[in-house]
Amino acid sequence: MTSVISVSAPGSSANLGAGFDVLGLAVDLRAEVGLGDAPQGAQPIDKHHPAVIAYERIGGSRQLWSRSQLPMGRGLGYSGAARAAGAMLAVVEREHSPAVATEPAAREEVFAVVAELEGHPDNAGASVYGGLIAASADRVAQLPIAHDWVLLVWIPDNTTSTDKSRIQLDAVVQRVDAVANLAAIAHFVAGISAGDESLVRAGVKDRLHQTQRLADVPGSANALKLMQESGAIAAWLSGSGPTVAGFYRRGETEAAEQLLAGGQIRIVDIDRLGVISL
């Protein structure tokens, strides 16, 4: 038997409406990457896998395996989680210490690599640090969440490409739309830290990307509408979609579950741990 070292990282729901490329929320669905004897359900991965690319960027050179609770191409941050796990695996291996995964310097190193590879920092920050984060290219702020809300995640069968989705967005935005989004982000952050549901609901109203993306996925647009009508505190297109996510009070998702069709429904917690060594 070969000794096993493994690291896991949570997926993410990025943007949260108005927080385009800034806000990210870690979700309790994980991607695990390791070396040594692969456990049940794990598969070897090659040099093209995002986890391997991140692992090798930090100096790793061994054969890796992976298993994941996250669907690919659905807007739940699979590539960011895989990269966070792969990059931290290289750090753990280099330092000969599983405990290093919780150290600030290690997380800063991993975040820098993952954000660069992803091309945007929001899902990278959520997968590395956990919880709700606001990220720029070189800094992550972890934001307080006042209430123990759950996430209802509606995952359709179709996929989207983040790169293709971005190409369709306007290269230049109107000042009035930028200002509206700035106000919405401020409302969201204030609302979630104080537990003010009306502010959180107002804070997901976006004028930069969500309407354009939803036009290409009418099923997601309908799911978003149904969630808004069935008790969601706030709901949004997750990342570039097609998944739709929303905050609900714990135990109050039944109405939405009965209305939503055409996709898989998951009720998940907000992940508070970020990337960890197992």
CA end-to-end distance (rounded Å), the chain: 18
Domain 5-143+271-277 top-level CATH class: alpha beta
* Spatial distance between the Cα atoms of 224 and 221, rounded to a whole number of angstroms: 5
Determine if the pTM surpasses 0.85. yes
Inter-residue contact 18 to 191 (CB < 8 Å): no
* C-alpha torsion angle, residues 33, 242, 140, 185 (rounded to 10): -160
Residue 117 C-alpha from the chain's centroid: 15
User: For the segment 69-126, what is each residue's pLDDT rounded down to a tens digit?
Assistant: 999 999 999 999 999 999 999 999 999 999 999 999 999 999 999 999 999 999 999 9
Q: Is the pLDDT of residue 176 over 50?
A: yes
Q: Is the pLDDT of residue 1 over 50?
A: no
Inter-residue contact 25 to 270 (CB < 8 Å): yes
Q: Is the pLDDT of residue 159 over 90?
A: no
User: For the segment 31-44, what is each residue's pLDDT rounded down to a tens digit?
Assistant: 999 999 999 999 99
User: For the segment 256-268, what is each residue's pLDDT rounded down to a tens digit?
Assistant: 999 999 999 999 9
Identify the pLDDT of residue 237.
Answer: 98
Identify the pLDDT of residue 182.
Answer: 97
- Burial readout 169-182 (b: 16 or more C-beta within 10 A, e: otherwise): eeeeeeeeeeebbe
Superfamily assignment of 150-268 in CATH?
GHMP kinase, C-terminal domain (3.30.70.890)
Helix (H) or strand (E) holding 111: helix 104-118
Domain boundaries, the chain: 5-143+271-277, 150-268
